[in-house]
Structure 1
Amino acid sequence: MAEYSDLSVLIVDPNPGMRGSLHNMLTQASITKVEYAVSSGTAIRQLAKKPFDIILCEYDLGNGSGENNGQDGQQLLEDLRHHKLILPWTIFVMLTSEGVYSKVIGAAELTPTDYVLKPFTVDSLLQRLRKAVERRDVFLPIYDLIEGGSLRRAIADCKAGEGNNPRYAIDFARLRAELLVQLGELAEAELVYQVILMTRPIAWAHLGMARCQFGQRKYIEAQDTLQELLIHNSKYMAAYDLLARTHEALGQQESAKKILEDAVAISPHMVRRLRHLGEVAYETGDVSVAEKAFKQVVAKAKYSEFRDPEDHVKLVKTLVKKGDANQAGNVIRDMERSLRASANVDACRAIAAGLLQEMTGNVAGAAAELTTAVNAVGASRGLSTGLKLGLVQSCLNVKLDQQASDLMLNLMNDTDSGVSMDDAVEVFEKAGRHDLAAGMGEQIKLHVEELIAHAQEQRGHGDLRAAVDTLNAALRKAPANMSLLPAAASAILKQLDDLGWEMPLAEQCAFLLERMRKIDAAHPSLQALEAQYNHTQRKYGIATVA
């Protein structure tokens, strides 16, 4: 492997003897650019600074000081993938002497390039690395295109690679499908997976097809695909996760919980699955399952560089629902001791403390903590919409009406939150606060009218694209507003007519017209807008359905 002398390797292992042994093995392959990490934390810090071609990672990492209480290799890989600290083409090899099958399957489901059981010889390790490097080199030109944002060209090169390189034809097809998914072309990606499955019944192709079906809201078809996959591959863990989400999408929460429990029984170490189980169990009222799941999440994430303080809030919320003030207090104290100070941590601690104070009947104490939480949320970054909506509800419970209203308005003004006027009104109505719901609706109505007027002004100045963008921002706040829908459809049609036909924009316009029809089929603008849509189609030679 002399030709591999330029490869860089990161060895992640707390054992100095094993690090030295691996270094010697790599030296025999003329690989000399080798660095060490003694724990998951040091590995993450090194990978944040620069990439490596190969990562050799021990499964049982401990915490780098000889104690077996840190992250394991699986949790490290989960963090690296989720936070995109390693490139998709980084070669990640898991090294383990672990004989417990649940741990091995847990590592395998995170798709490392390979995993090697100890003891192994230098020849066996180098043979694995040689195959991995050879495969990576074949795909490196396409990876470069992806890195440069040239996804269309990458897709074309994948298509060519399927014919020109039969050895990796299926791998090229898989990458092509994944790129199509990245572009949102799910129906076309689904066809690629179907073609793959006509040649070989590959588990990942079944999963890919199910993901495409799910993305197109074909939930029953996705369920059928996943159930067939699990009949033949009962340990294919990612299929359980997606199957649970299809049941959730269909309103079948109990079934989703059962599926996640089955998955956790097979592979008990995936933090995100445990978190999902806790959330679904809480929603179904199964406090005992939720408590167990969230406790495991908090424990397993304890040594992660990316600890999420929201996990502690979820555990406290569960314990409060259970009526266990003592344990809830312990979790809050653990947050204070073990999490680094930040606006996110301050917000989560205050939310958790407010829940506990409310549970014990200390309304004044709860109000004080929740006021602190609202202020901290304003300075935070990345807290979930669900957490903030929960904070709105808590504020309503202790009569912090102004804080609840302000927080809800901020959520609706945040384009990434996904919270619409209808969502906001529903939260207030469920809390029995029709007065706040009406007030919120009036504020949004005025804001929408301002946006419509601003878009009309932009349109009058000939800035059609800006007008459409303004109205789309308004639609995110009030997707069913019957003043906004015709204004947005009209603006899109004007852009299509003057600047040319764009299929995604035309599809959005058709969707808006269909929404108008469902809400008010007799709306005075609907017929004229539909006629204008058909006229524009004919203008550009787009076939219409009779």
Structure 2
Amino acid sequence: MPEFSDLSVLIVDPSPGMRGNLHNMLNGSAITKIDYALGSGTAIRQLAKKSYDIILCEYDLDGGGENGQDGQQLLEDLRHHRLIAADTIFIMLTSEGTDTKVIGAAELTPTDYVLKPFTVDALMGRIGRAVDRRNTLQPVHRCIAEGNLREALRLCVVGPDRKPRYATDFARLQAETHGALDEWREAEGVYHTVLAVRPTTGWAQLGVTRCQFALGRYDDARLMLERLIALYPRFMSAYDLLARTMQALGQDIQAKKVLEDAVAISPHMVRRLRHLGELAFATDDVGVAERAFRAVVGKARYSEFRSPEDHVNLVRTLVRKGDGAGAGGVIRDMERSLRGSAEVETCRALSAALVLDLAGSETAAMAELTRAAAAAADAPNLSSALRIGLVNACLQHRLDTQASELVLDMMNDGVRGITAEQAVDVFEKAGRHDLAVSVGQRATQQVEEALSDTAAKLGQGEHRAAVMAITAAVRRAPRNVPVLLTAVQAILRQLDELGWEAPLAEQAAQLMVRLRKLDPSNGALEHLAQQYGATQRKYGIAAAA
């Protein structure tokens, strides 16, 4: 049994009695580092400041009512916003044994979920097994967190010899790490190795389909996913990937039906509901879109990460329906319930413009769009999808300057930006070839400036600054061969001069893989590979690392 005394635990439960019972159970097993959160908001704020080894979370954080956020939504937020590490032990506590609550909890893959009532021996047995598994896999997780993916792969290969009990866990991490490296054929091979021993392993079957999807083999992925869902009708992640696959095949209506089936089984996943709303809107199924977006707004109301973009989606749907009064009500709710910020102002003004357009008030709509574009410049957390929607709205009202500035800002956004090709495509799809040419010329100018700036910094020995400059250009022009070559050269210069850094070396390796796909006959590739190997040897790095 693992040692428990050093473990830290966060109990998330609104019930004082249950918190007390859990505290006593943990104390009886030498766990004394215990903190409490009464609900999701408190838990998120604590986790933003401090990490825990274990989280024990009640599913019904509002006592089973309709208000507040449940444990499933909390876990979804924690995973999506990376507030907990991959090896954090998250155990869901629920008294529900058969309905959609357990399905929802299970599909987010907590470490475990425990049905009430439970004994101290049952709880500590679950915790003990979870801690032993975490300790075994922790070196791999640490390498992944540090960006040293090659070392993570090596540990996955040798791990089963030392801990055969966790062979399948090592295999799963190995395949996922290959996927993170864009090595989908290698990942697929690992999944098939697992299936050769255990043919009905659901996660490995899903893994194969993810590889097929990444490799563009959409028909193969669709057939295998349909078989997987027939075998495991409540394997919710398979529904999500099947919907994405059908979209890739141009089958949006079928994709929408898949998500409707998934929501009927597990109705609480906010991101799935949002995806369903987007697909329904795209296929002009206004009724389904409205229900989905209303559910998103309602379920996200108590989340610490609530987004005003959900209100925009609902407003856009109601406007298409012709319900201006309903859309106005959604805007007023946004104004009342969300804190004032540039993101909220952008969404409010865009929503108002949509309603004004419906009413035929073009001049007032243009004024709101101008406000939205100005606010968007100070709203870094807005999604690219919303920004592009704002660009299109500006173009429809001949606000060319605002549209062009928005697109240029997106090109220069290192986190949520778009590539130069995507920027040009936005204007081409809007029928504005003149603006597409203009933004293409600006993109070319930015690339030339980045190449010149990188060369100057390298000449001055400013290696880190040079790498920062050229990697920013890579984000804007990810298929530009001269930019990719310069990026690899700059990274290798820094590694050679300043020392080996595994994440940076991995970045160089991935850029070389991209170069080989784009320009396999480029003569510089062999020299770069030799330089990479020489730098490895210089710092005593194993050739396989």
TM-score, structure 2 as length reference: 0.85
User: Is 1:10 the equivalent of 2:10?
Assistant: yes
User: Is 1:107 the equivalent of 2:105?
Assistant: yes
Equivalence for 2:289 = 290
Bigger RCO of structures 1 and 2 (CA < 8 A, at least 6 apart): 2
Residue by residue, what CA displacement relative to the aligned partner does 1:472-509 show, whole Å, maximum 9, x if unpaired? 866765688xxx76x56886999999999x87555444
Distance 1:426 1:16, change over 3 A: same
Equivalence for 2:328 = 329
1:312 deviates by 0.8
Q: Secondary structure at the match of 1:4?
A: coil
1:90 deviates by 1.6
Equivalence for 2:235 = 236
1:326 deviates by 1.0
Higher deviation after alignment, 53-62 or 179-188: 179-188
Q: Distance in 1 between matches of 2:453 and 2:32?
A: 62
**2:126 is matched with which residue: 105, 128, 136?**
128
1:118 deviates by 1.5
Equivalence for 2:164 = 166
Residue by residue, what CA displacement relative to the aligned partner does 1:22-73 show, whole Å, maximum 9, x if unpaired? 222222222222221111111111111211222111111118xx97510001
1:161 deviates by 1.8
Distance 1:358 1:51, change over 3 A: same
Higher deviation after alignment, 370-379 or 156-165: 156-165
Q: Distance in 2 between matches of 1:206 and 1:186?
A: 14
Residue by residue, what CA displacement relative to the aligned partner does 1:286-313 show, whole Å, maximum 9, x if unpaired? 1111111111001001100110111111
Residue by residue, what CA displacement relative to the aligned partner does 1:145-169 show, whole Å, maximum 9, x if unpaired? 4444443333222222212222211
Equivalence for 2:48 = 48
Q: Secondary structure at the match of 1:87?
A: coil
Distance 1:132 1:328, change over 3 A: same
Equivalence for 1:119 = 117
Q: Secondary structure at the match of 2:234?
A: coil
Q: Distance in 2 between matches of 1:107 and 1:538?
A: 46
Equivalence for 2:262 = 263
1:380-391 equivalences under 5 Å are: 380-391=379-390
1:516-527 equivalences under 5 Å are: none
Equivalence for 1:245 = 244
Q: Distance in 1 between matches of 2:469 and 2:336?
A: 46
**1:71 is matched with which residue: 69, 72, 86?**
69
1:112 deviates by 1.1
Distance 1:290 1:349, change over 3 A: same
Q: Is the 1:497–1:536 Cα contact (8 Å) retained in structure 2?
A: no
Residue by residue, what CA displacement relative to the aligned partner does 1:180-238 show, whole Å, maximum 9, x if unpaired? 22233222121111100100021111112222222222322322332232221111100
User: Is 1:350 the equivalent of 2:359?
Assistant: no
Equivalence for 1:517 = none
Whichever of the two has the greater Rg, that structure is: 1
Q: Distance in 2 between matches of 1:171 and 1:531?
A: 39
Q: Is the 1:464–1:491 Cα contact (8 Å) retained in structure 2?
A: no
Distance 1:118 1:323, change over 3 A: same
Q: Distance in 1 between matches of 2:29 and 2:369?
A: 60
Q: Secondary structure at the match of 2:41?
A: helix
Q: Distance in 2 between matches of 1:28 and 1:441?
A: 67
Number of equivalent positions? 520
Amino acid at match of 2:76: E
Equivalence for 1:521 = none
Q: Is the 1:468–1:491 Cα contact (8 Å) retained in structure 2?
A: no
Q: Is the 1:493–1:533 Cα contact (8 Å) retained in structure 2?
A: no
Residue by residue, what CA displacement relative to the aligned partner does 1:344-393 show, whole Å, maximum 9, x if unpaired? 11211111111111221111221221111111111112211111111011
Equivalence for 2:155 = 157
User: Is 1:276 the equivalent of 2:275?
Assistant: yes
Structure 1: runs of 5 or more not aligned: 515-529, 541-546
Amino acid at match of 1:156: R
Q: Secondary structure at the match of 2:93?
A: strand
Amino acid at match of 1:307: R
Amino acid at match of 1:49: K
Q: Distance in 2 between matches of 1:538 and 1:128?
A: 48
Distance 1:319 1:103, change over 3 A: same
Q: Secondary structure at the match of 1:379?
A: coil
Q: Distance in 2 between matches of 1:141 and 1:450?
A: 42
Amino acid at match of 1:297: V
TM-score, structure 1 as length reference: 0.85
Equivalence for 1:312 = 311
1:354-373 equivalences under 5 Å are: 354-373=353-372
Q: Secondary structure at the match of 2:377?
A: helix
Distance 1:479 1:31, change over 3 A: closer
1:394 deviates by 0.9
Amino acid at match of 1:161: G
Distance 1:470 1:237, change over 3 A: same
Q: Secondary structure at the match of 1:288?
A: helix
1:423-434 equivalences under 5 Å are: 423-434=422-433
1:399-414 equivalences under 5 Å are: 399-414=398-413
**1:198 is matched with which residue: 196, 199, 202?**
196
Q: Distance in 2 between matches of 1:422 and 1:145?
A: 34
Equivalence for 1:35 = 35
Amino acid at match of 2:162: N
Q: Distance in 1 between matches of 2:224 and 2:314?
A: 34
Q: Distance in 2 between matches of 1:274 and 1:313?
A: 15
Structure 2: runs of 5 or more not aligned: 497-507, 532-545
Q: Is the 2:58–2:93 Cα contact (8 Å) retained in structure 1?
A: yes
Q: Is the 2:312–2:351 Cα contact (8 Å) retained in structure 1?
A: yes
Equivalence for 1:543 = none
Q: Distance in 1 between matches of 2:24 and 2:221?
A: 48
Q: Distance in 2 between matches of 1:459 and 1:97?
A: 62
Distance 1:375 1:123, change over 3 A: same
1:15 deviates by 1.1
Distance 1:68 1:159, change over 3 A: same
Distance 1:176 1:496, change over 3 A: closer
Q: Is the 2:450–2:469 Cα contact (8 Å) retained in structure 1?
A: yes
Equivalence for 1:186 = 184
Amino acid at match of 1:143: H
Equivalence for 1:526 = none
Distance 1:340 1:320, change over 3 A: same
Q: Is the 1:2–1:29 Cα contact (8 Å) retained in structure 2?
A: no
Q: Distance in 2 between matches of 1:82 and 1:209?
A: 23
1:134 deviates by 2.4
Q: Distance in 2 between matches of 1:401 and 1:117?
A: 58
Q: Is the 1:493–1:509 Cα contact (8 Å) retained in structure 2?
A: no
1:522-541 equivalences under 5 Å are: 530=521, 532=523
Higher deviation after alignment, 321-330 or 417-426: 417-426
Residue by residue, what CA displacement relative to the aligned partner does 1:238-280 show, whole Å, maximum 9, x if unpaired? 0111111111122221121111111111111111100111111
Distance 1:302 1:462, change over 3 A: closer
Q: Is the 1:193–1:206 Cα contact (8 Å) retained in structure 2?
A: yes
Distance 1:360 1:135, change over 3 A: same
User: Is 1:25 the equivalent of 2:25?
Assistant: yes
Amino acid at match of 2:157: K
1:111 deviates by 0.7
Q: Distance in 1 between matches of 2:474 and 2:112?
A: 47
Q: Secondary structure at the match of 1:399?
A: coil
Q: Is the 1:471–1:488 Cα contact (8 Å) retained in structure 2?
A: yes
Higher deviation after alignment, 89-98 or 102-111: 89-98
Equivalence for 2:535 = none
RMSD: 3.5
Q: Is the 1:158–1:176 Cα contact (8 Å) retained in structure 2?
A: yes
